[in-house]
Amino acid sequence: MEIDQLKKQLDSDGHLIDASIWTEAIAQQLAELDALNLTPEHFEILKLVQDLYAETHDTPPMRLLVKQIKIRLGEEKGNSRHLYRLFPEGPVRYASKYAGLPKPAHCM
């Protein structure tokens, strides 16, 4: 999707209005708008955030996300340092954004 088309698909916070159009390519474009290049490590977290959203119909707060990462992906990835290394501006907000999910209610 061209960047101008993509921008029309975003809400005022830069999140997709319609999550059903999400693809990895769109995630990469969203990240590039924020000067971030997504790696397989990022996509691992995005998939987990999508799974948690599908299970709970809500974006997870940081503590729950860290806990679930530790359970599902292992001890070495289940900590806030790892998440901030991947998403320096805010792991929950930006992982949700790139995963095609709404802005978390608990994020400013």
Instruction: Give the residue numbers marked as catalytic.
Output: 107
Please write down the long-range contacts of 65-73, taking CB distance under 8 Å and 24 or more positions apart: 65/91, 65/92, 65/95, 69/45, 72/48, 73/44, 73/48
In this structure, the number of other CB atoms found within 10 A of the CB of residue 9 comes to: 16
Query: Cα angle vertex 10, ends 48, 49, to 5°?
Result: 5
Q: Is the dihedral of CA 69, 105, 32, 7 positive or negative?
A: positive
